[in-house]
Structures are given as C-alpha cells and as structure tokens.
C-alpha cells in the first residue's frame, strides 16, 4: 500500500481520532473530541503522558516503531498530531493507512526553520532577513547579509527558545554554532518588534477557512507567558494576518488548525516568525472566549466535519502556569479565572504545567 488515504466521509460520532503526542495539547484535543462524541486514541512514548488520563485509548510506543504505528492506525478512523517534532516519516507511514492531517508536507515545513522561511517568502509574505549557516565558513557572509545583532537558531528541533542564541558578532556566532554541536542553523535578523501576535486559523477538508481573532503575545525566556485578545493590531493588520494564514494554508493543502506567529514591527509591518502546524498555546483562551475552541475546531477539521464559528464573545487574557507556579494551585483556583492544570506528575523549571484564562466584556 503506498497511496495517501483521504477521508471520503466525515468520521461519525463513536469513531476514533488518533493523536500522536500525549502532552497538554493532546489532552485538550482529546477532551474536545469527547464533547463531539468521538473517541481519542493517544500515541506517545511517555508512560505518564498527560493526555492518557482523559482519552478512551492509548498506546505507548516509539515514533519510529513501524509495527506499533501500523497497529495504532488500524484502531483509528482519522489521525492527527499535537507536536511538530514527530518524525515526518511517522506521518508519511500513518497516512498510507488512515487519513492523516495536517499532511506530511505541512509537518516537514513546520519542522525546519529554513524550509519554512523559504516557503513563506516564496508566497510573497515578509519574514525577518535570514541566511543559512551550515558550518562556520558560512558565518561571515551570513552576518553581512543579516546584520547584527542577530539570532542563531538550529534549523530543526527547536522550541520554546531551545537551540537559539542572540549574537552580536562573528565570534559569538561561531561559539553559538559550536554549542549546537554541528546542527545546521539559520541566522536571523534580531527584530526590534513593537509586539508579538499570532493568527490561529483552521482549514476544513472542503477548503473552508475560519480564523480566530489574533491575540497579542508576551514571551519571557522565549516561553509564552501571556496572550491577550483583543490585540493592538489594527483592523487592516488583522485582515492582513488572516490573509497570510489563508495563503499559507491553501499553499499547503492544509487540513486542521495552524498557527502563524507574527512580529508586528514599529512601522506597522507584519513579519512571519514561525508556522506551527497544530493547535497552539496562544489559542488556549478560545476554550472560554469562543463557542468553538481551537481544539474542537481541529478535531472537526481532521474528522471531516464542518468548521465551527470562530467568533469571540469576550475579551480574554490567558496566562501560562510555568514550573514552580503550579505549586500555588490553590491560590490560582481562588483567583477568579478558568484554571487548567495538565496533570503532569513532575514540576520542572520552564515546564508548562497549566494556564488560567480570565474573561471580560467584549470590546
């Protein structure tokens, strides 16, 4: 069998959505699937994956175990994933057995910062200036092209600031590249942005498109801390952000929720920082502030259902609970917001343990 499987009809209630990855995103996807009468089957390599606790079925297996992946596929009607570092070979394999979305191309582009930026630029969409740095001999040319200060990022397997270093000179860039232990990298202009925002949108199996109101995002130590809607984006910038996400989704023949992370520059431009081919932390507020959350929207899309209305009925502020903050769960529970704890057994520095969303009247 080598053909890619496509959904010929929506997965009916009672059907099973397979989810690769068992973190908090998988957990919230499983809960959303349950609301629609669908079952979630989680595949994860962690024995205490947070999503196992709330799903109808789970498999513990490695992402390169072809026999285990095939057995998992046989028990699902449609398959998706919750993190972009799943090997694209696993998605290519699963898609031979069951409809798997987002597709392998979207995953491949989301995994490689160089492919991603090249793809976005080809669509005529702006990004920060960048240059590939495969080895130390590329550094002088890259600095000439990009300027300094800049950020050196590994092309692959970076998230929440892992595999990133701010550099001010060629010497610093050499040292940063050495610390990446030979991993191919990308030098990026350091953008002195006005603020960061993200556009979360869904594309359905029928090509329909639904975008959420873009939140404004604040990061600390490269980890998302806070998302606020409405953002400071103007109506024209919001329309532009939607258009950017729509063109990306169409070019990828995308099915599911995707997030486009943006820098809003001081002169009003929008630069694409990253594409996440999945539900996103900056969209957690949609659980309370929209009738249809990003998680339900994603399940609807990958199950071949009609997309729901992404309209926001409230203003919202979502704050992550990171590391030791989770020890204050009782205080957080009294804080008046909607508290989400992800069921992670160990608190670790920098680990996302939960989040709180506070709503207010829509403006």
Please state whether beta strands 150-154 and 164-167 pair in parallel, antiparallel, or not at all (unpaired): antiparallel
Residue nearest to ligand AMP (CB): 191
168 is a site residue for ligand AMP (CB under 6 A): no
Q: Nearest approach, Cβ of 191 to ligand AMP (angstroms)?
A: 4
Q: Which of the stretches 40-48, 167-175, 190-198, 296-304 binds ligand AMP when contact is defined by CB under 6 A?
A: 190-198
Q: Does 191 bind ligand AMP (CB under 6 A)?
A: yes
Applying the rule CB under 6 A, the residues between 8 and 27 that interact with ligand AMP are: none
188 binds ligand AMP (CB under 6 A): yes
Q: Tell me whether residue 196 or residue 240 sits nearer to ligand AMP (CB atom).
A: 196
Nearest to residue 69, comparing CAs of 79, 55, 57, 83?
79
The answer to the question of residue 196 lying near ligand AMP (CB under 6 A) is: yes
State which residue, 104 or 128, has the beta carbon closest to ligand AMP. Answer: 128
- Residue labelled with tokens 């990298």: 185
Helix axes 88-97, 66-74, angle to 10 degrees: 40
- Over the window 215 to 234, marking each residue x when it contacts ligand AMP by CB under 6 A and - when it does not, the resulting string is ----x--x------------
Pick one of 82, 84, 240, 274: the residue that binds ligand AMP (CB under 6 A): 274
Check residue 83 for interaction with ligand AMP (CB under 6 A).
no
Q: Does 146 bind ligand AMP (CB under 6 A)?
A: no
The nearest distance, CB 353 to ligand AMP, in angstroms, is 19
Binding segment for ligand AMP (CB under 6 A), chosen from 40-48, 57-65, 187-195, 228-236, is: 187-195
Cβ 215 to ligand AMP shortest distance, Å: 13
- Our finding on whether 261 is near ligand AMP (CB under 6 A) is yes
Shortest distance, CB of residue 281 to ligand AMP, whole angstroms? 11
Pick out residues in 113-132 that bind ligand AMP (CB under 6 A): 128
Contacts with ligand AMP by CB under 6 A lie at 128, 151, 158, 161, 188-191, 196, 219, 222, 261, 273-274
């Amino acid at each position: 069998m080598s053909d890619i499987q496509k959904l010929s009809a929506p997965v009916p209630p009672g059907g099973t959505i397979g989810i690769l990855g068992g973190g908090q995103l998988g957990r919230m996807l499983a809960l959303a699937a349950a609301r629609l009468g669908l079952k979630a089957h989680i595949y994860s390599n962690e024995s205490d994956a947070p999503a196992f606790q709330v799903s109808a079925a789970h498999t513990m297996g490695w992402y390169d175990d072809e026999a285990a992946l095939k057995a998992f596929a046989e028990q699902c009607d449609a398959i998706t994933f919750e993190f972009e570092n799943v090997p694209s070979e696993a998605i290519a394999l699963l898609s031979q057995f069951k409809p798997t979305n987002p597709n392998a191309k979207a995953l491949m582009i989301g995994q490689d910062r160089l492919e991603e930026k090249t793809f976005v630029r080809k669509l005529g969409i702006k990004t920060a200036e960048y240059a590939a740095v495969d080895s130390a001999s590329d550094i002088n040319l890259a600095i000439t092209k990009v300027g300094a200060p800049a950020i050196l990022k590994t092309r692959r397997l970076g998230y929440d600031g892992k595999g990133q270093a701010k550099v001010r000179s060629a010497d610093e860039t050499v040292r940063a590249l050495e610390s990446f232990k030979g991993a191919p990298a990308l030098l990026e202009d350091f953008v002195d942005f006005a603020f960061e925002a993200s556009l979360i949108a869904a594309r359905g199996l029928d090509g329909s498109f639904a975008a959420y109101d873009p939140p404004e995002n604040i990061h600390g130590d490269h980890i998302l801390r806070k998302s606020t809607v409405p953002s400071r984006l103007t109506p024209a910038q919001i329309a532009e952000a939607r258009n950017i996400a729509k063109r990306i989704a169409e070019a990828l023949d995308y099915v599911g929720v995707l997030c486009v992370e943006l820098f809003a520059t001081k002169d009003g431009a929008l630069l694409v920082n990253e594409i996440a081919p999945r539900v996103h932390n900056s969209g957690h507020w949609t659980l309370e502030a929209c009738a249809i959350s990003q998680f339900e929207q994603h399940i609807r899309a990958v199950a071949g259902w009609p997309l729901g209305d992404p309209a926001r009925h409230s203003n919202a502020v979502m704050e992550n609970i990171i590391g030791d903050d989770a020890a204050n769960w009782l205080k957080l529970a009294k804080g008046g917001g909607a508290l989400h704890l992800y069921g992670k057994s160990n608190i670790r520095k920098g680990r996302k343990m939960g989040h709180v969303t506070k709503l207010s009247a829509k403006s």
